[in-house]
């Protein structure tokens, strides 16, 4: 087995079960890695080392007694700090929530524990998750393990940095406009944005309810697709706390099911133009799939421009309208990034506009699904470029790194509720990871993961950052 902090989930579980390595040793290796890298990366908000060691010892005792062993036995994981874990501060990056400590585990956290995973701590986010740069007034900024002058992305930037650097074997983020996929792309790991309700978002702040039920989801992040799948299979399933959850059974996808599958290389003037290295990575991923027997061809979807506009209506003016009473009169406690979001997102939201946007979203989603009837998988960039430098990302229109221009490839999936996964495809000339996005139809996460795994096989082994 490779260095303990870069072992896969399957390797960890197998070696703990066969007693080649103890769960205590696994946790100690990760805690030592965190001790070394936290001053450089600032990925963690809260570290629960004592409880993690206790969980590891409990797992060892269960193993010695011959008790039932979970599928994540001994696997150290992390959780984004907007997701409840009992006894942990979960501030979602805001001074307004700095004193909030969760009473109970979110459903997904409880499922991870029950599967034998060891919860190490929670990770950094931008304030209230409303940016693609992880920085706030409580914990400060999180750096990219490939280049400390670069952003780890957002809003699940702490998760991506922790996993890419070997501080965690995997974890959970959340995604309202690319917030697991973009940090994964920036940091060179994998992340799945599932169909809303496939993994319950119970215990997440802000809650995905009402008109926003399609927008935000929770999803697994890890270094390989196999590890993402292992986390997904544990966390997936219905929960009464999530209004969209449904009893969708887990499916397996074999070679016969993907043989000759049609894959579309997504083309759209509405999504912007990716830089040459990003575009080349998508083409290379398509070529690798074609070499494995997939039918890969360009596809141009109609309606994506309007999808981006509707996404911003919900993510921008509507959510800002809901935040306004929470943050009113608290200017000195609001981060620069969040103040900027509110400045550019605030606007009048009428009942007629909201009802019309909800209806149009559903009709647009149906139209895009009809266009994907015979092409169940799409490939696209995650964003137009690789990780930007700290402070360059902005909501200001016209700026080089304006989120409303650079992140469109990810944002439209949150409007439609489609699953998508970011998978590393290479490294740029500047030494930064380049990810490719694999997009599927609702509730077909297993197919999306199967295709992404074949992109991995064409790419070769996962590459660690130079830390």
In tens, the pLDDT along 312-334 reads 999 999 999 999 999 999 989 99
Question: Over the stretch 226-263, which tens digit does the pLDDT of each residue have?
Answer: 999 999 999 999 999 998 988 999 999 999 999 899 99
Distance linking the first and last C-alpha atoms of the chain? 19
pLDDT band at 2 (very low <50, low <70, confident <90, very high): low
Question: Over the stretch 28-66, which tens digit does the pLDDT of each residue have?
Answer: 999 999 999 999 999 999 999 999 999 999 999 999 999
pLDDT in the model for residue 108: 98
Q: d(Cα 81, Cα 119) in Å, to the nearest integer? A: 12
Question: Over the stretch 69-87, which tens digit does the pLDDT of each residue have?
Answer: 899 999 999 999 999 999 9
Position 1 pLDDT exceeds 60: no
Query: Per residue in 279-304, is it b (16+ CB within 10 Å) or e — as a string?
Result: bebbebbbebbeebebebeebebebb
Of the given ranges (36-50, 88-102, 108-122, 199-213), which has the lowest mean pLDDT?
199-213
Question: Over the stretch 154-185, which tens digit does the pLDDT of each residue have?
Answer: 999 999 999 999 999 999 999 999 999 999 99
Position 208 pLDDT exceeds 90: no
Question: Over the stretch 128-152, which tens digit does the pLDDT of each residue have?
Answer: 999 999 999 999 999 999 999 999 9
Annotated active-site residue 276? The verdict is: no
Annotated active-site residue 155? The verdict is: yes
Candidates 376, 378, 380; CA nearest to 436 is 380
pLDDT in the model for residue 67: 86
Average pLDDT over residues 202-231: 91
Helix (H) or strand (E) holding 410: helix 408-416
| Distance set, CA 154 to CA 123, 129, 326, 342 (Å) | 11, 7, 22, 17
pLDDT in the model for residue 149: 98
Q: Mapping DSSP to helix (H, G, I), strand (E, B) and coil, where does residue 69 land?
A: coil
pLDDT in the model for residue 347: 86
pLDDT in the model for residue 21: 96
The 8-class DSSP code of residue 101 comes to B
Across the chain, what does the average pLDDT equal? 96
Position 20 pLDDT exceeds 70: yes
Question: What residues contact residue 352 under an 8 Å CB cut-off, 6+ apart?
Answer: none
Instruction: Give, in degrees to the nearest 5, the angle at Cα 284 between 279 and 285.
Output: 100
Position 444 pLDDT exceeds 60: yes
The 8-class DSSP code of residue 388 comes to P
Return the CA Rg of the chain: 21
pLDDT band at 213 (very low <50, low <70, confident <90, very high): confident
**Cβ-based neighbour number of residue 447 at 10 Å:** 20
Annotated active-site residue 80? The verdict is: yes
Which member of 94, 143, 151, 155 is catalytic?
155
Which member of 8, 80, 139, 151 is catalytic?
80
Question: Over the stretch 419-439, which tens digit does the pLDDT of each residue have?
Answer: 999 999 999 999 999 999 999
Which member of 94, 179, 245, 380 is catalytic?
179
Mutual orientation of helices 408-416 and 351-371 as an angle, nearest 10°? Answer: 100
pLDDT in the model for residue 209: 76
pLDDT in the model for residue 211: 63
Instruction: Give, in degrees to the nearest 5, the angle at Cα 321 between 319 and 322.
Output: 65
Q: d(Cα 15, Cα 308) in Å, to the nearest integer? A: 46
Q: d(Cα 361, Cα 420) in Å, to the nearest integer? A: 18
pLDDT in the model for residue 291: 97
Read off the tokens for 446: 């297993």
Q: d(Cα 150, Cα 101) in Å, to the nearest integer? A: 31
Q: Mapping DSSP to helix (H, G, I), strand (E, B) and coil, where does residue 272 land?
A: coil
């Amino acid at each position: 087995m490779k260095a303990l902090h870069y072992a896969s989930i399957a390797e960890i579980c197998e070696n703990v079960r066969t007693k080649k390595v103890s769960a205590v040793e696994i946790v100690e290796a990760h805690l030592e890695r965190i001790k070394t890298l936290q001053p450089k990366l600032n990925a963690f908000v809260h570290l629960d080392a004592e409880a993690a060691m206790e969980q590891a010892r409990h797992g060892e005792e269960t193993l010695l007694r011959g008790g039932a062993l979970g599928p994540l036995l001994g696997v150290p994981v992390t959780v984004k700090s907007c997701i409840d874990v009992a006894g942990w501060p979960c501030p979602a990056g805001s001074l307004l929530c700095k004193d909030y400590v969760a009473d109970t585990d979110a459903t997904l956290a409880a499922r991870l524990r029950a599967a034998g995973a060891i919860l190490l701590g929670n990770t950094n986010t931008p304030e209230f998750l409303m940016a693609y740069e992880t920085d706030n007034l409580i914990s400060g900024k999180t750096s990219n393990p490939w280049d400390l002058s670069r952003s780890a992305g957002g809003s699940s930037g702490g998760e991506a940095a922790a996993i890419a650097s070997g501080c965690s074997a995997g974890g959970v983020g959340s995604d309202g406009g690319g917030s697991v996929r973009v940090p994964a792309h920036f940091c060179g790991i994998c992340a799945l944005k599932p169909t809303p309700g496939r993994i319950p978002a119970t215990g997440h702040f802000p809650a995905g309810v009402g008109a926003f039920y399609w927008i935000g989801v929770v999803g697994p992040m890890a270094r390989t697709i196999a590890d993402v799948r292992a986390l997904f299979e544990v966390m997936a399933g219905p929960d009464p706390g999530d209004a969209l959850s449904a009893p969708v059974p887990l499916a397996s996808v074999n070679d016969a099911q993907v043989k000759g599958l049609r894959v579309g290389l997504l083309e759209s003037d509405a999504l912007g133009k990716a830089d040459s290295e990003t575009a080349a990575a998508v083409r290379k991923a398509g070529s690798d799939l074609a070499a494995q027997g997939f039918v890969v061809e360009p596809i141009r979807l109609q309606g994506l421009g309007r999808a981006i506009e509707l996404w911003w209506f919900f993510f921008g003016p509507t959510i800002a309208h809901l935040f306004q009473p929470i943050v009113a009169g608290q200017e000195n406690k609001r981060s620069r990034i969040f103040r900027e979001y509110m400045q550019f997102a605030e606007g009048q939201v009428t009942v007629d506009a909201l009802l019309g946007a909800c209806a149009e979203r559903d009709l647009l989603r149906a139209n895009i699904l009809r266009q994907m009837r015979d092409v169940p998988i799409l490939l696209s960039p995650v964003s137009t470029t690789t990780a930007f430098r700290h402070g360059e990302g902005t909501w200001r229109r016209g700026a080089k790194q304006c989120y409303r221009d650079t992140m469109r490839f990810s944002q439209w999936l949150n409007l439609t509720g489609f699953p998508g996964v970011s998978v590393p495809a290479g490294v740029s000339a500047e030494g930064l990871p380049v990810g490719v996005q694999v997009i599927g139809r609702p509730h077909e996460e297993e197919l999306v993961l199967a295709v992404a795994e074949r992109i991995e096989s064409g790419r070769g082994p996962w590459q660690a950052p130079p830390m």
